[in-house]
């Protein structure tokens, strides 16, 4: 591992899942949760929305950092061109899961890696296709009662009990959890950070 000694990596995210994924690379980092408006913009495509929010997160944290690499990430679950955010209620979670049942949807975890204060950056929007099993009403009800869909984009967590909902994936598994580690490693290398 080769990390520039005068640099620190900042994760601009409050997600415990992203924190765990980043820690698995054994890279020293700090967490500074960003304070931004995460509302969708009318007419904005899901990939554009994810990248805009990833960029906003990194840049919102930049003034709090003297010098370093700041990583902003935003994950969207999309089907039929619609973004499925975090369900506001058990009823909404059931509606989302019913919509995903027996179908393929896309998960995009956009990343904006900002070198501050030079204002150099790298961006990526890796996408993974996820196909769900057929879900019965009873299975959906049981999963929602587990509490796991709360605070999860698309109302499921592939790394938890939600794994049994998934028939297959095409693309990076870590991307669905919230941070594509292979793509991040390539981005870090552009700034002199060699993970291996």
Please state the rounded mean pLDDT for residues 35-53.
87
Which range of residues forms the domain containing residue 44? 9-189
Nearest Cα residue to 123 out of 132, 109, 137, 113: 113
Q: What is the pTM of this model?
A: 0.93
Q: Give the Cα separation of 16 and 14 in Å (integer).
A: 6
Read off the pLDDT of residues 126-144 as tens digits, 9 standing for 90 and up: 999 999 999 999 999 999 9
- Please identify every residue annotated as catalytic: 74
Count the domains in the chain: 1
Q: Give the CATH number, domain containing residue 139.
A: 3.90.950.10
Q: Could you give the CA distance from residue 73 to residue 114 in angstroms, rounded to a whole number?
A: 11
Query: What b-and-e string marks burial along 40-67, b requiring 16 or more CB atoms within 10 Å of the CB?
Result: eeeeeebeebbbbbbbbbbbbbbeebee
Mean pLDDT across 166-188: 97
Residue 4 domain flag: no
For position 151, what pLDDT does the model report? 87
Residue 195 counted as domain residue: no
């Amino acid at each position: 591992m080769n990390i520039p000694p005068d640099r620190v990596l900042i994760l601009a995210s409050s997600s415990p899942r992203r924190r765990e994924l980043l820690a698995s690379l054994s890279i020293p980092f700090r967490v500074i949760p960003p304070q931004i408006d995460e509302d969708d913009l009318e007419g904005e495509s899901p990939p554009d929305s994810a990248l805009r929010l990833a960029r906003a997160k990194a840049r919102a944290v930049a003034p709090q950092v003297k010098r370093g690499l700041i990583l902003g990430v935003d994950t969207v679950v999309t089907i039929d061109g619609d973004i499925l955010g975090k369900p506001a209620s058990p009823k909404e979670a059931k509606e989302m899961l019913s919509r995903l049942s027996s179908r393929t949807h896309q998960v995009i975890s956009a990343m904006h890696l900002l070198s501050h204060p030079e204002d150099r950056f790298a961006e990526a929007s890796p996408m993974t296709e996820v196909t769900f099993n057929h879900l019965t009403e009873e299975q959906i009800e049981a999963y929602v009662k587990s509490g796991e869909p709360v605070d999860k984009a698309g109302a499921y967590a592939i790394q938890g009990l939600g794994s049994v909902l998934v028939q297959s994936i095409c693309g990076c598994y870590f991307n669905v959890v919230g941070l594509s580690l292979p793509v991040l490693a390539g981005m870090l290398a552009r700034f002199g950070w060699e993970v291996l």
